[in-house]
């Protein structure tokens, strides 16, 4: 019987395609905002109104703050992917069958650790840059919460909350399958192959929890300012 060999290249491809997808979505949103800015300026000057700087300044402010919020959200998601790889590598080194489904995972865990640290480093730098610029650009009133801020905080809260809930449910089912079907089946040519490997899902669950708490804190802070 030929044992099943996990395709780690496929896993890496999913990670990279997800990153590219988020980047493409961010570019699409930014392109739409720039297009709306262009249309607004054209309509402003061709409707017979007096030229002025206030509308251009306001629209450029909206575009800049929208871009910075996209950067903050994207960098958090990138850091999330990296932290997930790091936690998975740590769990895999301690509980290889529970995490990866088979023994002898040193090289795979090391690969996940290096990939995760790289993604976390890039995401942290991007987050720090965009967060600092956003704090510099926004006024005191805007820091209390505007439509742009609320939209992106709500998107982050909803996304992280949905991932947390569905990952928790999936983790419980995987643990039940892991325990009921047996931790492993013995294949002489490959070692131990687990019936289920909940460690990967647990890594996602542990990683997304602080992100959900971060957006929850930001959302409640905005609500307190509105009172």
Global confidence as pTM = 0.68
For 111: left if phi > 0, alpha if psi spans -120 to 50, otherwise beta; the answer is: alpha
With contact defined as beta carbons under 8 Å apart, do 22 and 77 qualify? Answer: yes
Q: Is 215 exposed, middle or buried (0-12, 13-18, 19+ CB in 10 A)?
A: buried
193 bridge partner residues: 185
Instruction: Check if the beta carbon of residue 62 is closer than 8 Å to that of residue 41.
Output: no
User: What string of pLDDT tens digits covers the 227 residues of the chain?
Assistant: 344 444 444 444 445 555 555 556 566 656 666 666 665 555 555 555 555 556 656 666 777 778 888 888 888 988 999 999 999 999 888 888 888 877 777 888 888 899 999 999 999 998 999 888 888 877 666 666 677 788 888 888 898 999 999 999 989 988 888 887 655 454 444 445 555 678 888 999 999 999 999 899 988 887 776 55
């Amino acid at each position: 019987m030929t044992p099943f060999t996990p395709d780690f290249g496929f896993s890496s491809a999913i990670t990279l395609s997800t990153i590219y997808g988020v980047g493409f979505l961010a570019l699409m949103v930014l392109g739409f905002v720039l297009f709306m800015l262009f249309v607004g300026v054209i309509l402003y000057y061709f409707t017979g109104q007096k030229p002025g700087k206030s509308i251009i300044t306001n629209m450029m402010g909206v575009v800049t703050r929208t871009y910075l919020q996209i950067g903050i959200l994207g960098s958090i998601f990138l850091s999330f992917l990296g932290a997930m790889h790091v936690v998975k590598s740590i769990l895999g080194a301690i509980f290889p069958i529970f995490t990866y489904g088979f023994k002898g995972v040193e090289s795979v865990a090391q690969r996940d650790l290096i990939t995760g640290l790289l993604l976390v480093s890039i995401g942290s730098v991007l987050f720090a840059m965009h967060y600092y610029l956003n704090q510099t650009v926004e006024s005191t009133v805007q820091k209390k919460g505007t439509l742009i801020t609320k939209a992106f905080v709500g998107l982050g809260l909803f996304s992280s909350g949905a991932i947390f809930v569905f990952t928790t449910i999936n983790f419980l089912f995987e643990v039940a399958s892991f325990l009921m079907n047996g931790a492993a089946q013995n294949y002489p040519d490959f070692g131990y192959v687990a019936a289920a490997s909940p460690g990967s899902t647990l890594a996602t669950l542990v990683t997304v929890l602080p992100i959900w708490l971060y957006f929850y804190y930001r959302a409640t802070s905005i609500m307190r300012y509105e009172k």
